[in-house]
Amino acid sequence: MSGRIRLVVQLLVLCFLSTLNPTLNAQEKSLAATPPMGWNSWNHFAEKINARTIRMQADAMVSSGLKDAGYVYINIDDTWEGKRDDKGFIHPNEKFPDMKALADYVHSKGLKLGIYSSPGPKTCAGYEGSLGHEEQDAQTYADWGIDYLKYDWCQSTGTAEQMKAAYTKMRNALKNTGRPTVFSLCQYGWANVWEWGAEVGGNLWRTTGDIEDNYDSMSRIGFSQSGHEKYAAPGHWNDPDMLEVGNGGMNEDEYRTHMSLWCVLAAPLIAGNDLTKMTPYTQEILTNREVLAVNQDPLGKQGYPVVQEGPFEVWMKPMQDGSIVAGLFNRSKEQDRMTVQFSHIGLSAKAAVRDLWLHKAVGEYDDSFSAYVPAHGVVLVRLKAVAR
The binding site for ligand GLA (CB under 6 A) comprises: 42, 77-78, 123-125, 152, 186, 210
Closest to 383 (Cα-Cα) out of 363, 372, 373:
363
Residue 239 contacts residue 262 (beta carbons within 8 Å)? no
Task: Using CB atoms within 10 Å of the CB of residue 230, give its burial: 0 to 12 exposed, 13 to 18 middle, 19+ buried.
Answer: exposed
Nearest approach, Cβ of residue 193 and ligand GLA (Å) = 13
42 versus 45: smaller Cβ distance to ligand GLA: 42
192 versus 320: smaller Cβ distance to ligand GLA: 192
Nearest approach, Cβ of residue 186 and ligand GLA (Å) = 5
Contacts of 343 (CB under 8 A, 6+ apart): 367
Characterize the bridge pairing of strands 81-84 and 90-92: antiparallel
251-254: long-range pairs with CB below 8 Å, 24+: 251/376, 252/281, 252/285, 253/374, 253/375, 253/376, 253/377, 253/378, 254/215, 254/218, 254/376, 254/377
Nearest approach, Cβ of residue 175 and ligand GLA (Å) = 23
Catalytic residue among 143, 210, 253, 355: 210
Nearest approach, Cβ of residue 365 and ligand GLA (Å) = 41
Among positive and negative, which fits the CA dihedral 332, 333, 339, 345? Answer: positive
Q: Which residues pair with 238 in a beta bridge?
A: 205
Closest to 127 (Cα-Cα) out of 117, 119, 114:
117
Residue 209 contacts residue 240 (beta carbons within 8 Å)? no
242 versus 307: smaller Cβ distance to ligand GLA: 242
Contacts of 88 (CB under 8 A, 6+ apart): 133, 136
Exposure class string for 267-290: b at 16+ Cβ within 10 A, else e: bbbbbbbbbeebeeebbbbbbbeb
Residue 74 contacts residue 45 (beta carbons within 8 Å)? no
Residue 223 contacts residue 265 (beta carbons within 8 Å)? no
112 versus 150: smaller Cβ distance to ligand GLA: 150
* Active site (annotated) includes residue 152: yes
Nearest approach, Cβ of residue 125 and ligand GLA (Å) = 4
Catalytic residue among 152, 213, 239, 274: 152
Alpha carbons 385 and 352: distance in angstroms, whole number: 6
78 versus 313: smaller Cβ distance to ligand GLA: 78
Nearest approach, Cβ of residue 279 and ligand GLA (Å) = 24
Phi first, then psi: what are they for 272, rounded to 5°? -130, 20
Nearest approach, Cβ of residue 38 and ligand GLA (Å) = 14
268 versus 377: smaller Cβ distance to ligand GLA: 268
Q: Which residues are catalytic?
A: 152, 210
